[in-house]
Structure 1
Amino acid sequence: MDTLNAMQPGFADTGHDNGCDRVWVEFQAALQHVPLLPRLAFLLSDVLGKPIDEVAHLLGRDIATCRQLIGDARTRLRALHAGGHGDHP
């Protein structure tokens, strides 16, 4: 089992790359281009599905600020995707 899949609970080692590894690696690389607070807010909200009030509590920010942080992260990730970090054959 490769290290990437070993870090992902529930991912079975099929012995071949089905494209998930590449997507995961590209997603992680894109996240590195997002500043820390927007990245954390985005991960908590959009990836982990935490409600906005919980995100605000965890980050010690108000709800409006967290919405702005999440929006900033989404905008940056979309720009990265549009700029060539997206799908390619």
Structure 2
Amino acid sequence: MFTQNLREGYRAVGGRFTKPLKWLYERTRLPVIPINGGFPVKLRTYLGDPITYDPNMTATELAEKTRMAILALRDRHQKLPGNILRALQERFYKHQKDD
């Protein structure tokens, strides 16, 4: 399962704000991370093909198979690099289905 435009909906503050936030956390132990977002982007959830279970498969092999399936869904349905303005535009203009 993969949800398109999820990262464009919410953004966490980073970059030059990381050092002051780390300093504040070290002094107070309060996990304070300002989040900007709640953007009204269109979220679409895509379900991939079922992952078949093989009893001879180890847990790490199954985890790797699952990871590759999720990455394939992401590569197929998400436009990279992420762009909030493009995601907002997709919300208000008709989207043609690929499938």
Q: TM-score band (shorter)? A: 0.3 to 0.5
**Where is the helix percentage greater, Structure 1 or Structure 2?**
1
Higher relative contact order (CA 8 A, sep 6+): 2
Q: Given the two structures, how large is their TM-score scaled by the length of structure 1?
A: 0.33
Q: Given the two structures, how large is their TM-score scaled by the length of structure 2?
A: 0.30
